[in-house]
Amino acid sequence: MSGFDADVIVVGAGFAGLSAAEALVSAGSEVLVLEARNRVGGRVASDRFADGVRFDTGGQFICDEMHEVMALVHRLGFPVFDTPMDGAFQVQPAGAGEARYNFAESGRIRTRANRIDPRDPSIAGLTVEAWLARQSDPSGAKVGYQAMVEGLWCRSISEIPLWYVIDNDRRTTSNGNELQYSVDGTMHAVAEALAALLGSRVRLGMPVARIVRGNGSVAVTTGNDEVFKARQVIVAVPPVMASRIGHEPALPAPLAEALGAWRSGTVIKALVEYERPFWRDAGWSGMVMWRDVLGLFACDVSSGHASALVVFAGGPLAVDWSGKGEDFIRSEMLRRLAAAFDSAAETPVDFQMRDWVGDRWSGGGYSDVITDLSACDAETLIRAGAPPVHFASSELSSSFPAYVEGAIVAGREAAARVLAFLQER
């Protein structure tokens, strides 16, 4: 390996980067993973309640249909626990105009949308909002569909192309089962265990600022001006973050434009710990959606270690609340949980939240979203990359994009492309 620090440098130690690195190491390649943060996991992160119980502040839920992440979690020895779902589901505020928010009918809109070919010329250039306006469904059904899109894709429906949502949603094949399990010990601990298999190949505190493509080699410069050389590079960071890395020579214009077609999602995740799951006393499952604000959702994540609810605020709501600060978010969430269940909700044992809006190294969450209405080829162009520079992130996955499963798949897909180049030598 004369003159090279590794066969392959992987930029980013989220699940995409770690999975790519593991696949490359298994195939016999020398790998170096450069991660900007002082921890691995990226959009999978964790914290602890005051009593020491660890919980996920980022990616958490998995399900049987997510074959790769399920296999990984089992291989690394982590048990999973079921998301408690017994009991009634609520739409809040109760009784306030059911017509304004109709789930069953909004599900039918989703099914109808997903039957459209994303390349159908009749939807070219249409945002979700523009397409929805043309539908003859009752307004409650439309608002429900809007809440679903803004809650999952975490941007306003006035920005998201319909073809993008359809194309993305078709690759998520779990039939609404995504909340099935959590990892006992946290998904973040799974990322740490995966990184531990890679040992000293993972270097933290290494923000990559510039990539120089040469003849048969590539030089990667960090913000600390350290330079590493390799034969190939996988940039395993979300597209918006990838677009901020400098390239020499400049990336081909179509690829640079493809990376510029995305915006970061916006989400806030809160974990609220209670003495006991009191909501079950009245027959509630803990699962709540709100009709007066779109993109707000709560569910029970109690395990053998803690009784807790998780609350997500996504999309425009997250941006609004993020601007109002943590005290506002806490009191607003607790007030709403109390209205849904019982005044006991206002006195939790602990309340912890992570505001991902504008996050330094991921830009937001759950995922980046294409907002350029004409960028239908963006994913294909990014997947093709500019060898020896390749790209991977959950967004680019052939299955479950925007999920941990998607990150693992995207990482391994990129590793396969890189191995093909290495074998050509």
Ligand X SMILES: Cc1cc2nc3c(=O)[nH]c(=O)nc-3n(C[C@H](O)[C@H](O)[C@H](O)COP(=O)(O)OP(=O)(O)OC[C@H]3O[C@@H](n4cnc5c(N)ncnc54)[C@H](O)[C@@H]3O)c2cc1C
What are the residues binding ligand X (CB under 6 A)?
A: 11-17, 34-37, 42-44, 58-61, 207-208, 236-238, 241, 245, 267, 269, 356, 361-362, 365-367, 393-394, 402-407
Quick one: 15 or 163, whose CB is closer to ligand X?
Answer: 15
What is residue 90's three-state secondary structure?
strand
* Cβ-based nearer residue to ligand X, 11 or 32: 11
Q: Please, what is the minimum distance in Å from the beta carbon of residue 272 to ligand X?
A: 15
Beta 54-56 vs 262-264: how paired, if at all? Answer: unpaired
> Shortest approach of ligand X to residue 320 CB, angstroms?
17
Burial class (CB in 10 A: 0-12, 13-18, 19+), 5: middle
Helix (H, G, I), strand (E, B) or coil at 408: helix
Decide whether 340 or 396 has the Cβ nearer to ligand X.
Answer: 396
Question: Which residue's CB is nearer to ligand X, number 49 or number 228?
Answer: 228
CB of 40 to ligand X, least distance (A): 7
Cβ nearer to ligand X, comparing 274 with 366: 366
Q: Is the dihedral of CA 63, 64, 68, 74 positive or negative?
A: positive
Q: Are 220 and 9 in contact (CB under 8 A)?
A: yes
CB of 108 to ligand X, least distance (A): 25
Give 12 or 161: the residue with its C-beta nearer to ligand X. Answer: 12
Residue closer to ligand X, measured from CB, 36 or 141: 36
Map tokens 């429900």 to a residue: 144
Residue 12 tokens, joined:
């980013």
Residue with tokens 């967004």: 395
Closest contact distance (angstroms) between CB of 22 and ligand X is 13
Distances from the Cα of 189 to the Cα of 32, 43, 57, 77, angstroms: 21, 13, 12, 11
CB of 355 to ligand X, least distance (A): 9
Nearer to ligand X, 143 or 368 (CB): 368
Q: Which two tokens stand for residue 333?
A: 């969430």
Minimum distance between the CB of residue 11 and ligand X, rounded to whole angstroms? 5
User: 181: closest CA among 301, 316, 277, 283?
Assistant: 301
CB of 16 to ligand X, least distance (A): 3
Comparing CB distances to ligand X, the nearer of 91 and 369 is 369
Work out the number of other CB atoms within 10 angstroms of the CB of residue 33. Answer: 29
Q: What is the dihedral of CA 96, 100, 101, 105, to 10 degrees?
A: 130
Strand segments, DSSP code E, in 93-243 are: 181-183, 202-203, 208-213, 218-222, 227-235
Contact 65, 172 (CB under 8 A): no
* Of residues 411, 367, 404, the one with CA closest to residue 65: 404
- Decide: 33 and 20 in contact? Cβ < 8 Å: no
Characterize 281-293 residue by residue with b for buried, 16 or more Cβ atoms within 10 angstroms of its Cβ, and e for exposed. Answer: eeebbbbbbbbeb
Q: Which of residues 198 and 407 has its CB atom nearest to ligand X in the complex?
A: 407
Residue 43 Cβ vs ligand X, minimum distance, rounded to whole Å: 4
Interatomic CA distance for residues 208 and 12, integer angstroms? 9
Distance in Å, CB of 273 to ligand X, minimum: 17
**AA letter at 242:** A
